[in-house]
Amino acid sequence: MGWPEAMDELETKLRGWWRGTYRTLDNVPFFRLQYPPTQEREALRQFSLLADRLRAQGFPVQCISLTDVLRNTMQQLTNAKDDLSKALCSLETSRERIELQGQLSELLAEELPQVLCTHLVSRPRNSAVILLRFGALYPFVRSSTLLSRLENRVRCAVVLPYPGTTLGAVLDVPEGPHVGYYRGEIIAWR
């Protein structure tokens, strides 16, 4: 399966969900599409085209960069109004790397979904949000953790493009206190 097949499958499932002709796994309208990490630029293009096609069909679709959500969350966590890089440098020099990574993983797993929800809670059921640049969250937030924290809080369909060669192996942290249970549809690159 390449881009045409993967995007066709995703688009068909989204339209079916909105029209009531397709029932997602556990009735959770979350879709995670795994693609090869070398295809990042093409992924951005493909998901932008998907959003345009769906909008042309009358479905409200928004693309959100998780890089921007991460930046906003980090600014809130560090109280850095203007100079986030300075605040991060200060954190990095005051703690051991492993300690800082653990603390950031713990905080971001809780706070990032909160920040993201401010954009999503008012979206209606017949809309979708495409969360781009998930790789920016590595190694701090797992896709399963993020989606499990959004479940029962948002009504819209959530599409999470996921770069990886083996589902769960590249961007998921193998173990830790912030393991999430993922429910929803997985569209794997084959």
Q: Return d(Cα 156, Cα 161) in angstroms, integer.
A: 16
**Beta partners for residue 51, in sequence order:** none
Helices 97-120 and 66-78, axial angle in degrees (round to 10): 110
Strands 157-163 and 30-35, by their bridges, are parallel
User: Which residues does the chain have with pLDDT short of 50?
Assistant: 168-180
The predicted structure's pLDDT at residue 46:
96
Find out if CATH 3.30.420 is the number for domain 3-66+123-187.
Answer: no
Taking the complete model, does pTM exceed 0.85, yes or no? Answer: no
The predicted structure's pLDDT at residue 182:
58
Three-state secondary-structure class, residue 43: helix
How do the domains of the chain map onto residue ranges? 3-66+123-187
Q: Which of 54, 83, 61, 59 is nearest to 71 (CA)?
A: 83
The predicted structure's pLDDT at residue 179:
44
Question: What pLDDT digit, counting tens, does each position of 123-147 carry?
Answer: 998 899 999 999 889 888 888 889 9
